[in-house]
Chains A and B, each alone.
Chain A
């Protein structure tokens, strides 16, 4: 599994399509994205990470920057999203951060 992370609107999905050599429709079968949104309501992040890892590519938006949210639910969701990214990165064969559309390999090789 390849984990692609990066800030919002920085071209993660476009890069995934380049990596897999596919279009949007095929990407929806081979990859899963916005997984950071699944973390907040999840009671077992390990199980979620394991389930997501069945995909060829997992895409997650980094949401841990900026000020800690004052709303407890938002705070917990942000925390869980970061934890999930770490669990996914551990399972991943490679981890790529996409910044301004450009990849940086954090684990493994392109």
Chain B
């Protein structure tokens, strides 16, 4: 099963996604980290999150591009965070797939979904802050918008997290008792 969790900055989407992982039960838990550390601040941030997840017995797998090559145990619970980072990496990184970024991400998610038991994918809502964009920003938003729509179509459950509360656009019934 696959759940897509979308939300704005600091909406509580990561925390909610982690609750979904715990809800999935005592299977091996894999966290796929997509943020490339560029400076001390990002390294500290990564370290903090890594320690937090260690308490929940996650194994962390770093994957900046080419998600389709990520090896996860069969039947595991996988948390992929965050598609917005992955999308930027695929578009702009020398190792990325450039023009084929959306396709690479979709294929990568399909690969994970076929392998794991529960897949929870986190993405960002970046699209309600106006419509006047150009150049690289416009290009990035178009790709991420397409990826979000395609992942939503693939997913069994789709929610937008607002103030830590999930609003379900698709499915979600199996999580109603989750507090």
* Contact B149 A11, beta carbon cutoff 8 Å: yes
List of B residues within 8 angstroms of A64 by Cβ: 128
Inter-chain contact A66/B152, CB cutoff 8 Å: no
Residue of B nearest to A34 (CB): B131
Q: Using a Cβ–Cβ cut-off of 8 Å, how many residues does chain B contribute to the interface with A?
A: 25
Interface pair B148/A10, CB less than 8 Å apart: yes
Interface size on A (CB < 8 Å)? Answer: 25
- Give Cα A34–Cα B152 distance, bound, in whole angstroms: 23
Determine if A67 and B129 form an interchain contact, defined as CB atoms under 8 angstroms apart. Answer: yes
Known interface pairs A8-B145, A9-B141, A10-B145; A102-B152 also in contact (CB < 8 Å):
yes
- 1/0 contact string of A43-85 vs chain B (CB within 8 Å): 0000000000000000001111111010000100010000000
Q: A65 contacts which chain B residues (CB < 8 A)? A: 8, 128-130
- Could you show 24 A-B contacts with beta carbons less than 8 Å apart? A8-B145, A9-B141, A9-B146, A11-B145, A11-B149, A37-B131, A63-B130, A66-B128, A69-B130, A78-B130, A99-B152, A99-B160, A99-B169, A100-B4, A100-B151, A100-B152, A100-B169, A101-B152, A101-B153, A102-B152, A102-B158, A102-B169, A102-B170, A104-B169
